[in-house]
Amino acid sequence: MSSTYSQSLRIELIGAGDQAGTWGSTTNNSFAYVLDTAIAGYQTVSVVAANQALTYVNGASSNAGLNESIYAMLRLTTSTGANFNIYAPPVPKNYIIYNDSGYDATIYNSTVIGNTTAAGSGITVLNGNRVMVFSNGTNFYDLQAQNLTGTLAIANGGTGQTTQQAAINALAGTQTANRVLRSDGTNITLSQVALTTDVSGTLPVASGGTGTTTSTGTDNVVLSTSPTITTPTLVNPTFSSYGSIKALFETATITASAPTSTTNFDVVTQAVQYYTTNAANNFTLNIRGNSTTSLNSILAIGQSITIALLVTNGATAYYPTVYQIDGTPVTPKWQTGFAPSGGNASSIDAYAIVVVKTASATFTVLAAQSKYA
């Protein structure tokens, strides 16, 4: 009666009455070269082709290179110069694979022992990885963390928790409000930040600092006792107490032409408008913010603005006969109690106009005409 071989490890099964006087050697070889290697054997496999089957034999062999597929642990090396596939026999088996090849390797079950046709899905082992895989004879699977159950304790390398926040809390240890993680070079702890010892460098203005490391001021004036502000742009500033101003420059627009039939005075860009060419006609003066902004929108109730209009006249004098704010006519109150009936010839007429906002789109306008010649 001849021997047969087991399905998965192909251990030689001696037929009844066979191998009289030698069956012990066969059995010992099965233990040494099949069972022992299948449980704890380590073998290096040199891959020389893009698709390569693991070697096999029926029964035991002392030549490890003839029975690669039986080993428990496989170290893959290669001279293929590219990613590759290896094929194990189509029987259930588990392996620990160390991919030391320099390339990615994929392990499949073959359809027939020894061929390089995939029977099912494979598992890719990235270069440098050490992975445990197992097969049902058709498909290979890897052992992943999501396939594990239970909670791994901190003492065993886990967190002992089942949610992200709980894990963070467990690893952080005892907590106190308003603390940050800090290291002393050896251990990380939760503690407060001390500005005098833990913070260094200069905080720039863009990050809410001053960009400087020195101060000559005291109390709430920390930058300088006499700070200099160069060409600032102040939009609707509010001064909460009395102050002292040595000089205040106003913007004057000097125009080398005469007023047009409707002359717009834009308070956003100027305080004085000076026309240097002799006026050629009477005109309407419209006071506004600018072409897109109304004076009503930028002036609050209880606020006022003062402007000056300078009109040059030749032998025939002209003057503004209609006054508007944001295109709506208004009637000024004049300094003398009488509205001017004309301009002054061969002179510059200066119109000083004060506009007080008393309600929404409601203004009191005070005006005066002065002759300069």
Would you state the pLDDT for residue 1?
A: 58
Q: How many CB atoms lie within 10 A of CB 213?
A: 8
Q: What's at 145, amino acid-wise?
A: A
> What average pLDDT does range 69-83 have in this prediction?
93
In angstroms, the CA 245 to CA 239 distance is: 12
Model confidence band, residue 155 (pLDDT cutoffs 50, 70, 90): confident
Per-residue H/E/C for 213-229 = CCCCCCCCCCCCCCCCC
Would you state the pLDDT for residue 146?
A: 62
Q: How does pLDDT run across 293-303, given as a tens digit for each residue?
A: 999 999 999 99
The continuous run of DSSP H or E covering 185 comes out as none
Calculate the average pLDDT of the chain.
88
In angstroms, the CA 219 to CA 365 distance is: 45
> What average pLDDT does range 23-37 have in this prediction?
81
